Structure 1
Amino acid sequence: MGKLSLDDGRVEQKLKTREKLLAVANTLLLQGKEISVELVAKEAGISKATAYRYFTGTSSLKREASLQLKAQTSDDLFAGISEKDLKARLNKLIDYHFDLFTKNETEFRLFLSSVISESIHPETGYSRAGRRIVLITEALKPLRKTLPPATFQRMVNALAVFFGIESVTVLKDLCQLDNKAVLETWRWAVHRIVFG
């Protein structure tokens, strides 16, 4: 997969397509219907071939759709927080991801295990564009106009390392940290990256 640029309209469109597929899958799951990639694609008005670029099979679609039901959009997450209050936006981003991963840790670890397995077969069209980048970009909105685009992009990329189950597994399994220490490490690192 090539380098993702935040200014690339194609990336934004890919995220929208993925979100649409997941939203339709969620709706069908909540209705108690058995889903498949083909059915979700048809209901979403997206070609089957395109849907398979995002989800290699029904199990990966179900797995990600069930996790997305627990996630928030950037509009929901930063509602009520000023676009100028960078510290509050960062703390909200940290708290949200920490709560999401620690309350659903087993499910996210299983998800990570399966996506790593899928990622070793690039010919399957593997793609893992999630909402992490969108949320980080939204949190950093106060810096968007003040930083050079390349610096802003590097900051988003650096923060992406923290806001995933991968970070939790490294800090818990390798560093032997408990939840409180994981959160403290996240806060320390994120604030150092953004505020220097």
Structure 2
Amino acid sequence: MNVSRQSTELVEEAERGPRARTRRLMLETATRLMQAGVTPSVSEVAEAAEVSRATAYRYFPSQAALVEAVVDEALGPILAWQSASTDPQARVADLFGTSLPRIDGFEATFRAALKLALDEWAQRKAGAAPSEPPFRRGHRVDLLREALVPLRGSLPAAKVERLAQALSLIFGVEALVVLKDMWGLDAGSTEDVVRWAATALVRAAIEEG
């Protein structure tokens, strides 16, 4: 057996070995709980998955680490999004078209993650010392910047960044919270409004530039 083949087999074994199965079990359990509207602690996931707390914390040392992993799983193909188009409007439309159905499908998970972020903000506002590392968010920043790459040569960098910031207001579960909870829209109508707003923002930025 050559070294390359041996290395490949070791990686494959690690991916399907006991450690991988335990981690997968915890992620699936945490996803199930978050899809039910719960923002679970590592201990709660360990109990639900029938895994010892010590084992659970070896995989996920904090609630934030656990939620980040679940969110990444829920985002799925969104994180791998790419476009060969050089048209910024087409790229943004494609990104939103890829993302919105997935965000809607895992809406409860993303709402649970949002709740954690808001709870952490409230603790900081109250002056409470954080007990563990904060929950990190920011995938949308990288994705939106990537979608707007074609504009970098035709618009000032500050305006491209401002457009990405404006788009970030409607690219995520927050848009669903506003349109579903406040306006009573269903999933299809929510997607229509968000896609229309995204197109309008890109068009306005291009015309202004």
CA deviation string 1:119-163 (max 9, x = no partner): 223353646332111000101111022111111111010001111
Contact 1:90 1:139 (8 Å CA) reproduced = yes
| Pairing partner for 2:139 from 131, 139, 156 | 131
| Pairing partner for 1:68 from 65, 68, 72 | 72
Task: Give distance in 2, aligned partners of 1:137 and 1:73.
Answer: 17
Please list every run of 5 or more consecutive structure 2 residues that lacks an aligned counterpart in the other structure.
1-19, 27-50, 205-209
Matches within 5 A, 1:1-196: 29-30=23-24, 34-36=55-57, 39=58, 58-72=62-76, 76-78=80-82, 81-122=83-124, 123-124=129-130, 126=134, 128-196=136-204
Of residues 157-166 and 95-104 in structure 1, the stretch that sits farther from structure 2 once superposed is 95-104
Amino acid at match of 1:65: A
Change in CA separation of 1:74 and 1:173 when aligned onto 2, cut-off 3 Å: closer
Task: Give distance in 2, aligned partners of 1:147 and 1:160.
Answer: 18
More helix by share: 2
Deviation, structure 1 residue 75:
7.5
Amino acid at match of 2:175: S
Contact 1:171 1:177 (8 Å CA) reproduced = yes
Deviation, structure 1 residue 31:
7.5
Task: Give distance in 1, aligned partners of 2:73 and 2:157.
Answer: 32
Question: Aligned residue pairs: how many?
Answer: 152
Which residue of the partner structure matches residue 10 of structure 2? none
- TM-score, normalised on structure 1? 0.67
**Higher alpha-carbon Rg:** 2
- TM-score, normalised on structure 2? 0.63
Task: Give distance in 2, aligned partners of 1:74 and 1:177.
Answer: 23
Deviation, structure 1 residue 30:
2.7
Deviation, structure 1 residue 70:
2.8
Deviation, structure 1 residue 83:
4.1
Task: Give distance in 1, aligned partners of 2:87 and 2:123.
Answer: 42
Amino acid at match of 1:112: L
Please list every run of 5 or more consecutive structure 1 residues that lacks an aligned counterpart in the other structure.
1-26, 42-56
Deviation, structure 1 residue 113:
1.4
